[in-house]
Amino acid sequence: MQTGVIEAEATIYFVTSKLDGGPAIIQASVPIKDSDCADTLAKRILGIDHVLFPIAAKWLVQGCVVMKSKNALFDGVALPPKGKIVTTGTRE
């Protein structure tokens, strides 16, 4: 673990030919605990991914989020580079 880093991110991207290369749709922070190793942090990030993915899928199905010209748009407005930021545990 990198010294001084207090959080990691879980991010859902649009799929492109490059891994994690599409625009971000949604992101949440995951706190890094003093007791974390790579495996424990990865498990917590995966848990947040499991919360974020259904939200992103719902937005896609509803047409709220689209990819246009390599950008993610939410209700027609460009999302920031990290996507829509949500708090951990959000189930919008």
48 within 8 A of 87, measured Cβ to Cβ: no
Q: Name the pLDDT band for 92 (thresholds 50, 70, 90).
A: very low
Q: Is 45 a member of any domain?
A: yes
Domain that holds residue 60: 7-85
- At residue 4, the pLDDT reads 72
Do the domain assignments include residue 64? yes
**pTM for this prediction:** 0.82
**Cα separation, 1 vs 56, whole angstroms:** 29
The CATH number that applies at residue 67 is: 3.40.50.170
Each residue's pLDDT tens digit, 60-89: 999 999 999 889 999 999 999 889 888 765
